[in-house]
Structure 1
């Protein structure tokens, strides 16, 4: 029995070392594969019968020892959509399962998890990595509010950015207190109508008596410019506020001025029709009694600090970017951007117990625990590194050491097989 047992044990050793060699080969072959997690080997001894007086030879088996939680090195990438996780967690991804009647991609109901963040836009606008897995995340509505109830595949809308008509103009400037009565100065602001077309509006100031100025709003381009309306601006002590600050409005024609005391908003409202109906615009001049906004201090020149408006022209799709907090932003050629989704990081209680779909994608199991999707760097999730990729966690030097050990152990087991065979042959020859 001992001779036959030694033969069986040696053959199990050959099988185990063969599997260990296969793990090494798989690791070395994928040493340059993005996000690959190496497989180590754990050997287990099977004993058939062992007492204080007797030990019968058993066998050995090789079990895979997964290293899903061991991070590979992170390197910068030229791909602006490339992502790497520093710390624990995975990206949630989906696998395509065909197309529907309209030719749109359909996806498997199972969610997979990967560290391979070499994502890019495909021809349908999906974020897909080089292994063909589609990135999932929390979608955002038009206001940028996230829907955290479910993870969905992220598809980037590459349509235009709709124009936004100007509704507010902000002005910070100083009218020259030393100017002579009748002095006229002008500011011009570009605003947008509902179709995204740009129009010029002139803000014309004329020095009155004392600390008063008249503001006339007009539309240039015609001779004379088309008037919109006028309003008187009253500054200083005569208006009950500190010198040089705006105190009140009066004498409005075609314009409306806000009321209130010191600290209240100082706003002038007017309406212009550019062909799409009346467009109401508010001119924000700061606050009453404040040196922020429109003032009248010493000087002979009209000085504009800032002149802004909130209208936006039509914009065409330019690019997609992913921020370090996971927000996916669509950028337009009008300088605007819009957050359309957020990429969470999914964590597990025991990531080494995930089931491999392949070397770069995994499925959740009972042993791994339930997936927990969280914001970046929250609830144990790692940080997100943009424009970067995580390399394989394979150490070539270590793998070659394992290779040598497996080879030596395999050779030793073959020696036992040949020796046992010879001994069995000698036993058979005893009967001759």
Structure 2
């Protein structure tokens, strides 16, 4: 009877500890990244009892009760809920974030991170998140370290990014319905260019072009500048329709040798060849005279070509010179002269302008002569002005990016994930942290989304994986188990009391 009382007491103790596991799970139902536990029960050592000789075996044992063998953590995926900042991230799949403080490293599934005033990316407990730094050239470090960013606008800081000069400008248009307004005897293809006068205001009269489009580019200092592309219908040669174009900027901003002359502000002039269906077949481009009169067509020389685009030289006052490619949507295989030594040769060799360029390739967006009225279809440039840090985001691959006021993004760092040979061997440290142990093995560092590491969900946090239904069911089972074992104790006590009464 004494042993039965002991057995009941062990059961009460085991189920009491089991209720603690259930209670801990339910108390952390709203804890970010929390992983629920499961109490595993085991029986205690059994004692041998003398067996009767008539038994099948000579082994007879009597149980001595139960106990909690272990409190196992269940690392199942928790549901996601929207975060409140761009630095909230959740892990979808395997892995843990690494966090560091005072030289000690721990691991967590809770990704509710924030930047401090000093630029450290920390969790709510003040531990700094580990990641790989990325330098100004885009080179990523090979191993992780605490993420600390310099948000200042000073040299080396990420709060400011300088502008970038344009190396190309795209202007794709629909040029149907153009009229031939600029006309000069003996000059059917460059009448607009010959009519330009950089010393007049305006330098090109309204009656000297059929259609114009403003374009923007960024000068060598990263400042936004404006220019204009003028279009006019030219001649029809061998069934091909020729359109002349000219690109120019404000003569007052010209910092080249053309400043103060009639050629001031000119950047480029040429022709575009269309077949009868309005499809672009050819392109010519010439750079203006270094000075003097634009009417000297012999001084208009073939423009250079880079990456299939004719280039013009933009020398903005106080900013310096830069080379800018002009993209109409047709990539040229060689030069842009179409066999002409200068713009003056076009009048006597018009058939060269009308000949489609072999090897030229049309892009997805290309200038056409469709429709009955001209219009712009697409304009773009690779340049941009100076910008200031507006926000920081974290992508699915862990990339930490700065978003700037000039619509540019800059890669600043990358979050890494850690996995273990046995994550069941991790030790809970509180504050949503785990520590590596000999049972878990060493942490293995990797990049989100690669080599069986999980991906990151942007602007999300992982909720606790506690299952309400499971925990309440387990609570009832645990409560009943405790009650039944307490009944064993009270019943055994009554039996002992009855035995003592018999002695009296």
Instruction: State how far apart, in whole Å, the 2-side matches of 1:58 and 1:90 are.
Output: 41
Contact 1:19 1:62 in 2 (8 A): yes
How far does residue 133 in structure 1 lie from its aligned partner after superposition?
4.1
CA distance in 2, matches of 1:421, 1:212: 111
Q: 1:89-126 deviations in whole A, cap 9, x for unaligned? A: 233131433xxxxxxxxxx332x222222233333333
TM superposition score normalised by structure 1:
0.78
User: Per-residue deviation at 1:36?
Assistant: 1.1
Find out whether 1:55 has 2:52 as its counterpart: no
1:283 alignment counterpart:
326
Distance 1:243 1:338, change over 3 A: closer
CA change 1:64–1:79 in 2 (3 A) is: farther
**Counterpart-to-counterpart distance in 2, 1:319 and 1:264:** 34
Q: CA deviation at 1:364?
A: 2.6
Q: Kindly state the Cα deviation for residue 42 of structure 1 after the two structures are TM-superposed.
A: 0.9
Which residue of 1 is the match for residue 96 of structure 2?
91
Q: Partners in 2 of 1:35 and 1:123 — Cα distance?
A: 25
Equivalent residue for 2:308?
A: 265
How much does 1:386 deviate?
A: 2.4
1:233 and 2:270 correspond = yes
In structure 1, what is the Cα distance between the partners aligned to 2:98 and 2:179? Answer: 68
* From 79, 84, 94, the counterpart of 1:73: 79
Take 1:135 and 1:26, find their aligned partners in 2: how far apart are those partners?
A: 27
Corresponding residue for residue 180 of structure 2: 179
Contact 2:217 2:383 (C-alpha < 8 Å) held by counterparts: yes
SS of structure 2 residue aligned to 1:165:
coil
Per-residue deviation at 1:62?
Answer: 0.8
Matched, 1:325 2:397: yes
Please identify the structure whose Cα radius of gyration is greater.
2
Q: CA RMSD in A?
A: 3.9
Aligned partner of 1:151 in structure 2 is 144
- Note the 1:110-125 alignment, pairs <5 A: 110=105, 112-125=106-119
Q: Secondary structure at the match of 1:331?
A: strand
The answer to whether the 8 Å contact 1:137/1:151 transfers is yes
Corresponding residue for residue 253 of structure 1: 289
Which residue is 1:109 aligned to? 104
Q: Residues 336 and 256 (structure 1 numbering): CA distance in 2 closer, same or farther, change over 3 Å?
A: farther
Displacement of 1:22: 1.4
Q: Are 1:350 and 1:368, in contact at CA under 8 Å, matched by a contact in 2?
A: yes
1:61 is paired with a residue whose SS is strand
Q: Give the Å deviation of 1:247.
A: 4.0
Flag the 1:89–1:235 CA change in 2: closer, same or farther, 3 A. Answer: closer
Post-superposition Cα deviations, 1:53-100, rounded to whole Å, max 9, x if no partner, equal: 2535534321333233222222334444332233x3233131433xxx
What stretches of structure 1 of length at least 5 have no aligned partner? 98-107
Is residue 126 of structure 1 aligned with residue 120 of structure 2? yes
Judged with a 3 Å threshold, the aligned counterparts in structure 2 of structure 1 residues 251 and 58 are, in CA distance, closer, same or farther, namely closer
Provide closer, same or farther for how the CA distance between residues 422 and 304 of structure 1 changes in structure 2, counting only shifts above 3 A: closer
| Per-residue CA distance 1:351-387 (angstroms, 9 max, x = gap) | 2332211272212334334434444444333343323
- CA change 1:45–1:162 in 2 (3 A) is same
Between stretches 51-60 and 27-36, larger displacement belongs to: 51-60
| CA distance in structure 2 between the partners assigned to 1:279 and 1:259 by the alignment | 13
Structure 2 match to 1:200: 226
CA contact (8 A) 1:213 1:233 kept: yes
- Counterpart of 2:456 in structure 1 is 384
Q: Is the 8 A contact 1:228 1:270 kept in 2?
A: no
Maintained 8 Å contact 2:221/2:320:
no
CA distance in 1, matches of 2:487, 2:13: 14
**Contact 2:287-2:312 at 8 Å conserved across structures:** no
Change (3 A) 1:431 1:208: closer
Pairing of 1:20-35 with structure 2 (within 5 A): 20-35=18-33
Q: Partner residue of 1:401?
A: 473
